[in-house]
Amino acid sequence: MDDFLSDRLHLSNDGRIAIYVMAVVWSLTTILSLFGFLGVLFKWRRCVTAFSALTWLQMIASLGTGSYFIYTLFHNKEDANKCANDTASDLEHETCRSVIKVSKVFVIVLYIVIWIIMIWAASIVSDYVGQLREEESAVSEYETRVQMPQQQAPILVVEQMPTTYAPYTSDPASKNDKPYYAV
């Protein structure tokens, strides 16, 4: 692997170190993704919270190592010299330098896109942690309400008020010609 990095990619020692650190960071990302997947699958808030925190830490580590890698790309002058051998023509040297410039721009754009996606993903995970907290508090609030003894409304005993009216009779055959008035 070390021969590949030095022979094919023409990287300096600093560039190789940055690549190794990024490989470790992305390997940890893969392992952390398993924790996140299990936490989401089973709604384990602690596991998702740990995944969220580690996702933000991984984002910060990626920013640091990526920035360092970009720094080494622009401050390593010997890359252009190693690109073509000494017997190459001026056109080959110029082509080599152009390819290096384009690849540097491509690497920067790639890192920026990856960082934007990582920030977006980390914020989604953080929002999901908040959602799980709200769900847990709603469930615990519901359980405490169910476990509380239900208080019954007081029973009011009201006596019927006396009235001067006779009870209503709808029977027209009754002796009373005026069914709505007392006799």
Of 18-27, 71-80, 106-115, the one with minimum mean pLDDT is: 71-80
Instruction: Classify residue 98: in a domain, yes or no.
Output: yes
Distance CA 63, CA 57 (A): 10
Buried-exposed string 134-170: b where 16+ CB fall within 10 A, e elsewhere: eeeeeeeeeeeeeeeeeeeeeeeeeeeeeeeeeeeee
Which pLDDT value is given to residue 162?
Answer: 67
Q: How many domains does the chain have?
A: 1
Instruction: Classify residue 9: in a domain, yes or no.
Output: yes
Question: Mean of the pLDDT values across residues 72-94?
Answer: 69
Instruction: Classify residue 163: in a domain, yes or no.
Output: no
Instruction: Classify residue 94: in a domain, yes or no.
Output: yes
Instruction: Classify residue 40: in a domain, yes or no.
Output: yes
Distance CA 7, CA 2 (A): 8
Distance CA 31, CA 26 (A): 9
Evaluate if residue 113 carries a pLDDT over 90: yes
Q: For residue range 22-69, what is the model confidence (pLDDT) as tens digits?
A: 788 778 778 878 888 888 898 888 889 988 998 898 899 889 888 988
Distance CA 50, CA 48 (A): 5
Virtual torsion, Cα 43, 44, 47, 52, nearest 10 deg? 40
Domain span at 50: 2-124
Q: Which residues contact 164 (CB under 8 A, 6 or more apart)?
A: 182
Instruction: Classify residue 92: in a domain, yes or no.
Output: yes
Instruction: Classify residue 45: in a domain, yes or no.
Output: yes
Instruction: Classify residue 159: in a domain, yes or no.
Output: no
